Chain A
Amino acid sequence: MKSLEELKAIRERMQGQLGMREEGEDQTRVVVGMATCGIAAGARPVLNKFAELVQERGIKNTIVTQTGCIGICRFEPIVEIYEPGKPKVTYVHMDAEKAEEVVTRHLQGGQVVKEYVIPATISVPSK
């Protein structure tokens, strides 16, 4: 290594990864439902996609984490995004492609991706 630029390149690459080990009040949390229902519906690739993109794109103050059953199993895989000072957004029936779209449009662009948000009224299927 002969220059500060090389040092900086390593630092930036590592900061994306080490960012996971920071704890703060002003963090955005991306929470993926990973109970049996979620895993069966394909939550793992969704979780991994989020984790990968957040680090790769160096999105600051954002952690990707998992939770248990959210209780509406027929909508799995479910992803909830908590941003400080904003109402929680719940995305349903997610997959890896949709995850990438949410990262680009929501986490980076600041716009809720309305198409994937849980329907306002949950209709109970008739017997």
Chain B
Amino acid sequence: MYRAHVLVCGGTGCASSGSGKIQDTFKEQLEEKGLSNEVAIVQTGCHGLCALGPIVVVYPEGTFYSQVTPEDVPEIVAEHLLKGRIVERLVYKEEDEDDGSVKSYNDTDFAKKQHRVALRNCGVINPENIDEYIGTRGYEALGKVLTEMTPEQVIDVVLASGLRGRGGAGFPTGRKWQLARNLVQDGGPKYVCCNADEGDPGAFMDRSVLEGDPHVVLEAMTIAGYAIGANQGFIYVRAEYPIAVERLGIAIKQAREYGLLGKNIFDSGFDFDIELRLGAGAFVCGEETALMTSIEGKRGEPRPRPPFPAVAGLFQRPTILNNVETWANIPQIILNGPEWFASMGTEKSKGTKVFALGGKINNTGLVEIPMGTTLREVVEDIGGGVPNGKKFKAAQTGGPSGGCIPAEHYDVPIDYDNLLAIGSMMGSGGLIVMDEDNCMVDIAKFFLEFTVDESCGKCTPCRIGTKRMYEILDRITKGQGTLEDLDRLEELGKYIKDNALCGLGQTAPNPVLSTLRYFRDEYVAHVVDKKCPAGVCKALLSYSIDPAKCKGCTLCARNCPAGCISGKVKEPHVIDQSKCLKCGACMDNCRFGAISKG
């Protein structure tokens, strides 16, 4: 029995900022003070506030310490755990009230507007201890399904909840299950797969669920196995997620020991087991048909649909493939009922969605919001706004498949249909915030470079089309574009969307098309004025010194790596444009604001 629990975040974010060392130091210090039998150290998954990691939460007080270092640990042990005095200087600053008191973490702006369903256990339980998962009603839904419900009833509940695929496309999950159950009924094997090949730049929702609550995925897949009549599941997870892979392995082992995976689960006669398959880092393997081809041991390339996986998927057998976050919703839908789930969200998008906030935002991290929350609330209230007083320019959702949402749509409620209507998409949940210093042409180029690299090469529109689009964008950012190039980009983009083989190619032009739609003037500035309004594209930049402001201190000349600044002491200096590398070192060093770029 312990009187206090010290929760140390062991997600990838906090682990990379040193939470392992913090755990060790807590262990040593507790031992030294003779508190080892009174205070438990619990390694948890992600709390979401990755920007302020490593995070340590002490219960029963619920004190939320942020940016903790190993050097802070002796003080927390001596003051908080031994004497009950909260170490104020380490408390998450949003919790501090003006009157000096500390408010609950749940009342902070970051936490208040969130609603954690898929992430409910992340940061609360120890993911490597199956008992803690069971303690939060884990595997209760599986027990209920296997002992009280028919497969048809399970599918009806998922259908009625309105849950749609969280991988991005938003296909109704219950419908997918229904097809896999009904279309082929020949008594042969069927499969349940989990897509944990999260590859969008800036997305880490699925990783956090796997690291913080791996059992929820196992439980949900087993439920689906029962619903469609499958006895084998596969989790396809990227090898680049070592912590997630390790914890999934531990979870599968524990579930087998408890008989929650294996033969005759809950004495119901139903058998189900799950195996891990590691992805080798190809983005296209997150596409469902490529993923299944890869599990089969072949080169990960997509294949045409139809036939859909519900008819002929893995090993040409009926298969359902759902994304990690989709799975994470299932047990709670079973336990709390479809009405509960459908009461959250908008008319056609029920429940919540997890977003990974990144880019120009104060609270970089993971948030879960009810569908229908506006982008403004996510960025300004939960995300803490754009840093350094800069202005919000756009948010990129859906990664390389999505688009940019400009400030004019800041108040659009986020759901599947609204995002599609404004030229973006839900995607798996990466949300990258951009401010006035981001060049939209450069952003489009960045994402297209990614798809060019990751195109598997099987179909021509994607293999060659995206390459040509990239070349045009590259020309534009170098000031060599023409206005016809803009029309060509649009034409080519539409052609690729219509003709590519798989989802990767069909969505690859989105970042270009959506920026062309909302920020055409920036493209035109690059082409006609040969200027980059945000000051990003180097070829279009020039630095100049204002002679009226220059004091002739020589600091810029001394810091210029190219030696292209000349001038006498106490006289205005001049930049030789032909030698300038446009590194900006002069501007960073000038104390008089005499250097400008444009």
Contacts and interface: CB of A to CB of B under 8 A. Distances in A.
Contacts, number: 96
B137 A64 contact: no
B62 A18 contact: no
Interface residues of A, number: 35
A17 interface: yes
A11 B134 contact: yes
A33 B125 CA distance: 28
Nearest to B258: A1
Contact of A14 (B7, B59, B131): B131
B93 interface: no
B71 interface: no
A90 interface: no
A8 to B, nearest CB: 8
Nearest to A52: B1
A21 B1 contact: no
Contacts of B343: none
B60 A4 contact: no
A2 B266 contact: yes
Interface stretch (B79-87, B295-303, B389-397): B79-87
Contacts of A48: 1, 3, 38
Contacts of A79: none
Interface residues of B, number: 37
A84 to B, nearest CB: 15
Given A3-B267, A18-B132, A18-B136, A66 B83 contact: yes
B16 to A, nearest CB: 25
A68 B81 CA distance: 11
Contacts of B62: 21, 23
A51 interface: yes
B259 A1 contact: yes
Contacts of A20: 4-5, 59-60
Most chain B CB within 10 A, of A21, A48, A51, is at A21
A32 B38 CA distance: 14
Interface stretch (A34-42, A93-101, A105-113, A115-123): A34-42
B125 A18 contact: yes
Contacts of A47: 3, 38
B460 interface: no
Contact of A11 (B1, B5, B125, B135): B135
Given A4-B266, A14-B132, A39 B83 contact: yes
Interface of B: 1-5, 7, 38, 59-62, 82-85, 104-106, 124-125, 131-132, 134-140, 143, 147, 258-260, 264, 266-267
